[in-house]
Structures are given as C-alpha cells and as structure tokens.
C-alpha cells in the first residue's frame, strides 16, 4: 500500500544503493543506445508499422471453404452451443448434394459479443471455423459488427477473397469411406 515500490527492488537489496543505481542505469542506458542504433525497439509507429502476431493468436474468425468454394460448415450448431457469449447464429437448410445433406444458409457472428475464447474452433468437428491472427476490426453502428458468412469466409484478406481451404473435404471423406 504505502510502501514505495523502489525499495523492494532486488538490485538495491542485493547490491546496496550506489551499485544498485549503477546497475539499473546500465540497463536503461544499454537499451537506449541499442534503440538509437538498431531498430528493434518495442514501440511501433502503428498503423504504418504493424505487429505480426503468431498463428496461435485468437483474432477475427474465418470460415473455411471446400475445394469447390462452398462453405465447409455443416451447421451442426456445436459452436453455437458451446459459445459462452452466445454470439453465433446459424440457420441451417437442406443441401441439394446428398453427400453434404445439411449446410448453413446464414452464419453470423456478433463481433461485439464475441470474447475470442476460441471454443468454437475447439468444438467444430469439421475444421470449419478458425480464429486468425487478424486483430484489426473497426466499425461504427452495431450492425457493422455482425459478421455474416461472406465476410467470415470470403473477405479480401483471405487469399484475396477466395477463402481458406479446410483440411478434409466431404469428398475426401466419402472417398476414404471413413
């Protein structure tokens, strides 16, 4: 509470005041000199420079597609069931292809409600939904934050609008007779 944080620092405890001051300043000066001559400093000139997150980052969702370009999702509703924020809304319908049988006619995610927990990705039995490392989202009205399946599957950033192909297709599955 009232204790000054600096007195707790290990440098002072272990080395005494003068040596501790010297060691602390050494770190500060080293970092400053490095930042002056090498450009690997932590501060970024966002948005001109962008930080690249790892693939494990849980950002904006993507709906994968089959090789023929249709949605991989079978609308089993497991993601919508598992979703703790209840932000996924799927409307299922018959598909004319008997090997597909069921497909979504509408797949919406309310981005403002989503807590990016990644449970939908975990629940999906067919690798239809993934969370990408896209972190830039903006919008004004609430409606702009409801992402439909065109945006989720075919936005510009995903292979220039062609979408991300899922690992296993229905056709592969039928061929393998799994």
Residues of this chain that interact with another protein (CB under 8 A) are: 74-78, 81, 92-94, 98-99, 101-102, 125-126, 177-178
The three-state secondary structure class of 41 is: coil
Length of the chain: 178
What letter does residue 162 receive in the DSSP assignment?
T
Q: How far is the CB of 74 from another protein (least distance, A)?
A: 5
Query: Is the CB of 64 or the CB of 74 nearer to another protein?
Result: 74
What letter does residue 168 receive in the DSSP assignment?
S
Q: How far is the CB of 109 from another protein (least distance, A)?
A: 18
Q: How far is the CB of 114 from another protein (least distance, A)?
A: 20
Query: Is the CB of 77 or the CB of 164 nearer to another protein?
Result: 77
The three-state secondary structure class of 155 is: coil
Query: Is the CB of 99 or the CB of 160 nearer to another protein?
Result: 99
Query: Is the CB of 76 or the CB of 165 nearer to another protein?
Result: 76
**Where are the alpha helices (H) located in the chain, listed in sequence order?**
10-37, 78-82, 119-123, 149-154, 170-176
CA distances to 95, 124, 143 from 166, rounded to whole Å, are 19, 12, 28
Are the C-beta atoms of residues 94 and 101 closer than 8 Å to each other? yes
Query: Is the CB of 23 or the CB of 80 nearer to another protein?
Result: 80
Q: How far is the CB of 77 from another protein (least distance, A)?
A: 5
Q: How far is the CB of 26 from another protein (least distance, A)?
A: 60
């Amino acid at each position: 509470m009232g204790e000054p944080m600096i007195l707790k620092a290990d440098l002072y405890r272990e080395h005494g005041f003068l040596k501790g001051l010297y060691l602390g300043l050494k770190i500060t000066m080293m970092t400053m000199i490095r930042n002056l001559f090498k450009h690997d400093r932590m501060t970024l000139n966002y948005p001109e420079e962008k930080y690249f997150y790892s693939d494990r980052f849980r950002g904006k969702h993507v709906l994968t597609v089959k090789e023929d370009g249709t949605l991989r999702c079978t609308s089993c509703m497991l993601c919508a069931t598992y979703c703790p924020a209840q932000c996924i809304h799927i409307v299922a319908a018959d598909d004319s292809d008997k090997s597909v049988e069921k497909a979504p006619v509408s797949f919406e995610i309310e981005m403002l409600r989503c807590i990016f927990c990644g449970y939908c990705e975990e629940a999906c039995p067919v690798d239809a939904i993934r969370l990408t490392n896209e972190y830039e989202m903006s919008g004004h009205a609430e409606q702009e934050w409801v992402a439909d399946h065109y945006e989720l599957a075919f936005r510009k950033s995903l292979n220039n609008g062609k979408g991300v192909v899922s690992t296993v297709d229905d056709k592969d599955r039928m061929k393998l007779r799994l």
